[in-house]
Amino acid sequence: MQKHFDRSWRQWLVVSALAVHLPFLFPTAAHSWPLHKHARTGHPLLVGYFPQWGLYYDQPYSVKQLVDNGSAALLDQINYAQGFVSDGKCSVADPHADLDTTYTAENSVSGKPDDPASSFRGYFDQLKELKKRYPRLKILISLEGAGFAEDARPENRKAFVASCVDVFLRGNFAPGIHESGIFDGFDIDWEYPHAEDAANFRALLEEFRSQMRAARPGLRLSIAVGHSPQMLPGTDFAAVAPLVDQVGVMNYDYTGPWSQTTGFLAPLFTSPADPRHSNSIEKNIAEYQAAGVPAEKLLMGVPFYGYSWTAVDHTNNGLFQTGRAVHGDQPYRYIRTLTAASSVYRDPRSQAPWLFDGETFWTYEDAVSVRYKVSYAANKRLGGVMIWELSDDTTDAELLNTAHQALLHPVKASAFEENPQHPGTVKGSGR
């Protein structure tokens, strides 16, 4: 999964205006949907992607932040983005970020400074320390790159997978660096197999499963897929599903800067008022199930970022109107700071928010919408949810905490009926 905008092109409506802001924290959310009286059986997973490029933020993103804000204790699995696929093999995508960066006592997970003379530092060493503190936490390496189609061919497949196992499972990251046990499997992010690749895609997963089984028991194999099965033409999901532990559906980028019309980034339900976009998370999850993927293997994707348009018409408070799309995305932690100067509106069917100040329109997710859609995933008994991505959250992990609580205590299924009687949006204190 590449950074948002660079990924492959990935109802009816009653509008309620919010003068300033909504209360964000889960226990005091303005929408008081009825809760289940008993926790559901089983354990839906909370999976989050960790961004390798976070090192290069103005304020570098560290693994220790997952400890400081409590995220590590909430997460069941981290998908580390990314490992590189090219030239018929797997490799460390960014040796500086993954192996070389030196951490101080202040920003290291262990609380001890790195030895500058050590050959093993960086994010990988920090992940190793994180697993010591949270031994139940699983960490997968997310494999990305343009070489999958060639590497999956019969003559290349076995050697390619063997290289991935050697580097990321046996820990032979570089000459002189041998650190096994950090990664608990692979997340295959092939965006996307064409129809002519479908048979090789399945065979590649078979090869991964075979070699992983031989390497170590209990390893996990997941795939990241587009929000619709149609984005992987020819793929036999009924045959693929038994090979993998998780099918992570990228339920976002339903609209974005490639469109000159505003809309919802990740609508749970289809809105008949939307003139351009008819897909929804509800529809696409059902399509994957109809294609043969069991609900318990599906992870609903939840974005922690948003998109904007400027010069937007005032009609319908900017929703489904033309405007100038702004290239790229912004994290939720930034978008939240805009709410004091904008009006927040919400679709009562999907609970999807948008901001509009009379000029600029933002589509994004907030605590209310995250609680609602994660509760939907829990009610549908999906395998869990996956977050793209962890660094986009606030410093206190507001959205991740909301998602965690919603998995444990989802609202009742009646909240998702066609015409639910939701409370209206209310004024809140901006922050």
Residue 34: pLDDT band by 50, 70, 90 thresholds? low
Q: Is the pLDDT of residue 335 over 70?
A: yes
Q: Are 61 and 55 in contact (CB under 8 A)?
A: yes
Give pLDDT, residue 403: 98
Q: Is the pLDDT of residue 421 over 90?
A: no
Lowest mean pLDDT among 14-23, 325-334, 336-345, 374-383: 14-23
Residues 6+ apart with CB under 8 A from 411: 33, 34, 35, 36, 371, 372, 375, 379
Give pLDDT, residue 194: 97
The two three-digit tokens of residue 178, written as one number: 């041998």
Q: Rounded distance, CA 230 to CA 41, Å?
A: 32
Average pLDDT, the chain: 89
Residue 189's domain is classified under what CATH number? Answer: 3.20.20.80
Give pLDDT, residue 43: 84
Q: Is the pLDDT of residue 35 over 70?
A: no
How does DSSP classify residue 275?
S
Position with higher pLDDT, 160 vs 426: 160
Q: Are 204 and 157 in contact (CB under 8 A)?
A: yes
Question: Is 315 domain-assigned?
Answer: no
Q: Does the CA dihedral 334-335-339-341 come out positive or negative?
A: positive
Position with higher pLDDT, 329 vs 16: 329
Mean pLDDT of 65-81: 98
Residue 2: pLDDT band by 50, 70, 90 thresholds? low
Q: Is the pLDDT of residue 50 over 70?
A: yes
Mean pLDDT of 309-328: 97
Residue 419: pLDDT band by 50, 70, 90 thresholds? low
Give pLDDT, residue 381: 97
How does DSSP classify residue 318?
G
Range of the domain at 281: 40-304+366-416
Give the helix/strand (H/E) hosting 56: none
Question: Is 10 domain-assigned?
Answer: no
Give pLDDT, residue 42: 63
Residues 6+ apart with CB under 8 A from 215: 165, 169, 170
**Rounded to 5 degrees, what angle do the CA atoms 172, 176, 181 make?**
35
Give pLDDT, residue 418: 78
pLDDT tens, residue by residue, 95-117: 999 999 999 999 999 999 999 89
3-class secondary structure per residue, 369-400: HHHHHHHHHHHCCCCEEEEECHHHCCCCCHHH
Question: Is 389 domain-assigned?
Answer: yes
Q: Rounded distance, CA 266 to CA 376, Å?
A: 14
Give pLDDT, residue 22: 36
Q: Is the pLDDT of residue 39 over 60?
A: no
Give pLDDT, residue 86: 92
Q: Rounded distance, CA 66 to CA 229, Å?
A: 33
Indicate whether this model's pTM tops 0.85: yes
Residue 17: pLDDT band by 50, 70, 90 thresholds? very low
Q: Is the pLDDT of residue 302 over 50?
A: yes
Mean pLDDT of 284-296: 98
Residue 380: pLDDT band by 50, 70, 90 thresholds? very high
**For the chain, percent of residues with pLDDT exceeding 70:** 87
Q: Rounded distance, CA 274 to CA 179, Å?
A: 51
Question: Is 324 domain-assigned?
Answer: no
pLDDT tens, residue by residue, 197-237: 999 999 999 999 999 999 999 999 999 999 999 999 999 99
Q: Are 383 and 366 in contact (CB under 8 A)?
A: no
The two three-digit tokens of residue 307, written as one number: 């998109």
- 335-348 burial by CB neighbour count: b if 16+ within 10 A, else e? bbebbeebbbbbbb
Lowest mean pLDDT among 34-48, 154-168, 263-277, 381-395: 34-48
Q: Are strands 305-310 and 361-363 parallel, antiparallel or unpaired?
A: antiparallel
Closest CA to 270 of 4, 6, 3, 13: 13
Question: Is 354 domain-assigned?
Answer: no
Q: Is the pLDDT of residue 29 over 60?
A: no
Residue 20: pLDDT band by 50, 70, 90 thresholds? very low
Q: Does the CA dihedral 62-67-70-75 come out positive or negative?
A: positive
Question: Is 336 domain-assigned?
Answer: no
Q: Is the pLDDT of residue 37 over 60?
A: no
Q: Is the pLDDT of residue 430 over 50?
A: no
Mean pLDDT of 146-175: 97
Strand partners, 81: 51, 142
- Per the structure, how many domains does the chain have? 1
pLDDT tens, residue by residue, 244-272: 999 999 999 999 999 999 999 999 999 88
Q: Is the pLDDT of residue 186 over 70?
A: yes
Q: How far is CA 390 from CA 58, 126, 173, 397, in A?
A: 16, 16, 24, 8
Question: Is 153 domain-assigned?
Answer: yes
**Please, what's the largest Cα pairwise distance for the chain?**
63
Q: Rounded distance, CA 303 to CA 281, Å?
A: 12
Question: Is 349 domain-assigned?
Answer: no
Q: Is the pLDDT of residue 58 over 50?
A: yes
Q: Are 196 and 149 in contact (CB under 8 A)?
A: no
